[in-house]
Amino acid sequence: MTKSVNQLINYFRPSGYFLSIDARPGEREFQGVVYIAGVKTGKFVRLHAKGLTLENVRVNKELAEVRYLENDEIELIPEKETELDRDYAKELAERWGEAVDTSIAIEFSGKITEGSMHGLYPCKYEFEGESRELLATQFESHHAREVFPCVDEPAAKAKFLCQINTDPKYTVLSNMPSEVDIVLEDDTKRHVTFQMTPKMSTYLLAFVIGDLKKISGKTKSGVDVNIFATPAQSASNLNFALGVAIRSIDFYDEYFGVPYPLPKSDHVALPDFSSGAMENWGLITYRETCLLVGDSTSLPAKQFTGTVIAHELAHQWFGNLTTMEWWNDLWLNESFASLMEHYAIDQIYPDWKIWQNFETQEVVSALRRDAISGVQSIQQDVEHPDEISTLFDSAIVYAKGERMLRMLQVLIGEDAFRAGLKSYFERYSYKNTVAADLWSELGSAASFNVSELMNNWLTKPGYPVITAKCTGDTIELEQKRFLTDGKTDETLWRIPLFSSDENAPRIMSDKKISFQSSSNDFQLNVGNFSHFITHYDDKLQSRLNDRLSNFTDSDRLKIINEAIMLGRSGLASSADLIDLLKVLKNEESNAVWDLMSLAIGDIRRIVEDDYIATNNLKRLAGQLAGKHFDRLGILPDSDDNDNDIKLRSTILSQMIFAEDTLDASGDSDRPLDERPVTKSVLDLFTEYKYKLNEISGDIRPTVLAVAVRVGDNETIDFLVNTYKSTSDAELQQDITAGLTSVRKSDQIDRMIDMFKLSDVIRAQDLAYWFSWMLSNRFARTKTWEWLKDNWPWIENTFGGDKSFDVFPRCAGQIFSNDQMLNEYKELFLPLRSEPALKRAIDVGINDIVSRIDWIKRDYVTVANKLNQ
Ligand code: BES
Ligand code: ZN
């Protein structure tokens, strides 16, 4: 159903733009003028422009008529055919470094639209009791055309000379440092002209205008690094970002062997931001929680911030310096930056063991999503940028894509990987590429056929389960596609086995293989680098279970995750998880505990409607967590190591879960006095109520959730007011975690009533509110009713956003019975005609159906085992 689109580069290839824009925070319109020099490749010039009013349009100085075509395209037809004046052509060629034959001049004006968070948009914040705003841009993937007429395609690289004219009191930022910054004598306007950019794509251009504070430093090679935020943020919260940004650039300078290409690297925390961060060249923009780190920031949040910064900086090379030819290779941009975010942070903070975060988050989400029927493959054709939002499944495009590149990196070795990258950058800097260009550089560096290996992984959805059987000395392996609905298909993969057995081949490409085993300790995917799961026969599995404590954290958590996935699909029973948890009773690694918590969560889902089995599960969780709790307590300790800090929050949640036993109606059956941990957490809230910023973020969401669950309306009022008045986005997020844990009906209504109040809940944050409320079993029905009643509003507010599909996606991950399935179908089936939602809906239905089957299939055995 792909509509084919003319690429405008076939009509006109721009070499350089001079762009001048007048815009002021507070106003809702901007004016501009653009001069574009380039080479005409078709009969008439075509440009992209969306929502702009154009005036005085000239081609080679001759007035031109504008024809408005489909797909945001305009065609410029000069009243008289003229050629570019020879002297002027020469002058332009010198300026832009390329011969040109056409010059275009256009005056235009456009709208600064509230709520959209793309094009040129306002970000609102409060400072000293006053409402203020700044202006920012978001152009990826195709929103530059909302701000100026241009050839808005990644392959149309050009140089940009930009000028911003605004109120003198504001800081003005763009991709390059400012060159001329003058305020006119009458003091009403400030004109900032920036140095000319290198050749770059339009989606990477950016501007920020407003009152900003900053801190600065320099990399080893002298690049200026600046971190900016609104005055409402405390300056000390910028320090962490500065350190990570400088060290990441230093690291990439050396690792890629090609220096950071611009004189400066700015990083700006914006109060309104639709995604997490955006890699505009030299001017990276972020959501506040993805850049700012304060004293109370949790360790995982700090680590996440570090990885986001490293991710966007990796794009400064991979994506910005060399850019995909077209959007169908967007996955490569994102998978690569995702790989480097962990790679760089692992070098900078080795103690963080950041690859474990990758394994407990991205790997888990990729294996879950990629096992559902109907899931997309990594590589998908896109004919038009409008379709990009339809392929934006981050579990696939980011997480699975990263896993593929990590698999490749480990397989060919770090040296070859790095050498391949270096020659890739040397060859393609300031140019455009397709995935095959990267495979060919990596392949020659490694003397290995990379495209052959990667082909099915990238173009086919899903991944294999390898069945491993041991008969005598012979190990037999068979691969087939793994799906949670129990089905399979004929896809075969070339699977790097990373086997513990030296007799096993390095890569398995046949359906079945067998070999003489060389030891009794057989394990596949050692190190957890490859994208498959293993279903061992009983003998092999029980040998593994016996030796579990000798394995690395990665192998232990991999084995738990495999048990989770096999249980979900019916290849094994989820009751096995209970045995596995018992084997892990001495587990101390926080990463392994993350998977244990997920296993407990799976069992909990299966027995959700059975309070006796649930209470028995709670008892098991309490036994497993209890001894760690005795050691760790509730409050952070000065000699905590990183593992303790992370483990504490997991253990604390398990203790609270364990204490909250239920009666037959599903309500708590124990008074607070009989729930000592919960009671102490509540006391902690009471003590710190007026200084929530002093509670460590590692436990704060849990503390606030307890306060809300057992607290009264006054607690809710207090937290809502704090939410409204604070400019600490992280505290807001923790309060969201607290408030979305509400249990009483009137309090649930109160939360839902806030969903549409954009001055309370920013549009950027609604997805958290919605998905956390939907996960809360007390609030689920009401939240769902709200969604049904307000779908037109949702469509209006989030349609076109790349995370529009969060609504069907999230419900698909939660719903677990026939009635909910029917409700889901009733709302969403009619919406399948929307390209941005179709896949999320199809996958959502398949996900719910297999979840219902799984619960029905495993309920009796799981409950029996719990009740033994
Ligand atoms: N380039 C993306 C953001 C993007 C992609 C915007 C496609 C518009 C269309 C950016 O590099 C990115 O990946 N951001 C992530 C942050 C990530 C590192 C956690 C995001 O926003 O989710
Ligand atoms: Zn990215």
Q: 276 CA to middle of ligand 1, Å?
A: 6
Q: 306 CA to middle of ligand 2, Å?
A: 14
Query: Which is nearest to 286 in space by CA: 273, 297, 295, 302?
Result: 273
In whole angstroms, give the CA distance from residue 482 to residue 461: 10
Is the pLDDT confidence value at 4 over 70? no
Top-confidence residue, 6 or 286: 286
539, β-bridge pairs: none
In whole angstroms, give the CA distance from residue 671 to residue 686: 18
The H-or-E segment that residue 504 falls in is none
In whole angstroms, give the CA distance from residue 411 to residue 843: 32
Tokens 């709520």 locate to 115
Active site residue 179: no
Task: Give the strand pairing for 264-270 and 533-536.
Answer: unpaired
Is the pLDDT confidence value at 290 over 70? yes
Set 153, 312, 387, 659: catalytic member: 312
Q: How many CA atoms are closer than 13 Å to the CA of 497, on its beta-carbon side?
A: 22
Any atom of ligand 1 within 6 Å of the Cβ of 277: yes
Is the pLDDT confidence value at 389 over 80? no
Q: What is the pTM of this model?
A: 0.98
In whole angstroms, give the CA distance from residue 783 to residue 778: 10
Q: 311 CA to middle of ligand 1, Å?
A: 9
Any atom of ligand 1 within 6 Å of the Cβ of 278: yes
As a whole number, mean pLDDT of residues 180-197 equals 92
User: Could you write out the DSSP letters of every residue in 165-194?
Assistant: EE-TTSEEEESS-EEEEEE-TTSS-EEEEE
Any atom of ligand 1 within 6 Å of the Cβ of 334: yes
* Residue 3 confidence (pLDDT): 43
Is the pLDDT confidence value at 386 over 80? no
* Residue 1 confidence (pLDDT): 35
Q: Whose CA is nearest to atom 5 of ligand 1?
A: 140
Q: Could you give the 3-state DSSP secondary structure of residue 89?
A: helix
Top-confidence residue, 803 or 265: 265
Query: Which is nearest to 120 in space by CA: 22, 14, 265, 18?
Result: 22
pLDDT, tens digit (0-9, with 9 covering 90-100), for 764-785: 999 999 999 999 999 999 999 9
Pocket test for ligand 1, best of 278, 316, 765 (most atoms within 8 A of CB): 278
**Sheet-wide strand order for 464-471:** 512-516, 474-481, 464-471, 533-536
Residue partners of 493: CB distance under 8 A and separation at least 6: 456, 457, 460, 463, 464, 479, 509, 532
Taking the mean position of all CA atoms in its chain, how far away is CA 243?
Answer: 22
Q: Could you give the 3-state DSSP secondary structure of residue 500?
A: coil
Identify which ligand lies nearest to the alpha carbon of 201: 1
Pocket test for ligand 1, best of 275, 304, 801 (most atoms within 8 A of CB): 275
In whole angstroms, give the CA distance from residue 282 to residue 197: 10
| Helical ranges in 358-434 per DSSP H | 364-369, 394, 401-412, 414-428
Any atom of ligand 1 within 6 Å of the Cβ of 481: no
The H-or-E segment that residue 833 falls in is none
What confidence tier does 520 reach under pLDDT thresholds 50, 70, 90?
A: confident
Q: Whose CA is nearest to atom 22 of ligand 1?
A: 276
Query: Which is nearest to 49 in space by CA: 120, 110, 7, 4?
Result: 110
User: Could you write out the DSSP letters of every residue in 526-537?
Assistant: TTS-SS-EEEE-
pLDDT, tens digit (0-9, with 9 covering 90-100), for 418-446: 999 999 999 999 999 999 999 999 999 99
Per-residue HEC secondary structure of 238-307 comes to: HHHHHHHHHHHHHHHHHHHCCCCCCCEEEEEEECCCCCCEECCCCEEEEEHHHCCCCCCCCHHHHHHHHH
Q: What is the mean pLDDT of the chain?
A: 96
pLDDT, tens digit (0-9, with 9 covering 90-100), for 152-176: 999 999 999 999 999 999 999 999 9
pLDDT, tens digit (0-9, with 9 covering 90-100), for 536-574: 999 999 999 999 999 999 999 999 999 999 999 999 999
Tokens encoding 617: 């599960």
161, β-bridge pairs: 18
Answer whether the bond into residue 141 is a cis peptide, omega within 30°: yes
* Residue 181 confidence (pLDDT): 95
Any atom of ligand 1 within 6 Å of the Cβ of 309: no
Any atom of ligand 1 within 6 Å of the Cβ of 648: no
Tokens encoding 497: 């086995």
pLDDT, tens digit (0-9, with 9 covering 90-100), for 13-36: 999 999 999 999 999 999 999 999
* Residue 449 confidence (pLDDT): 97
Atom nearest to 334 CA in ligand 1? 13
pLDDT, tens digit (0-9, with 9 covering 90-100), for 679-732: 999 999 999 999 999 999 999 999 999 999 999 999 999 999 999 999 999 999
Tokens encoding 638: 């000065």
Burial state string for 123-148 with b = 16 or more CB within 10 A and e = fewer than 16: bbbeeeeeebbbbbbbbbbbbbbbbb
Is the pLDDT confidence value at 2 over 50? no
Query: Which is nearest to 225 in space by CA: 211, 210, 207, 240?
Result: 240
Fill in the amino acid letter for 701. P
Is the pLDDT confidence value at 675 over 90? yes
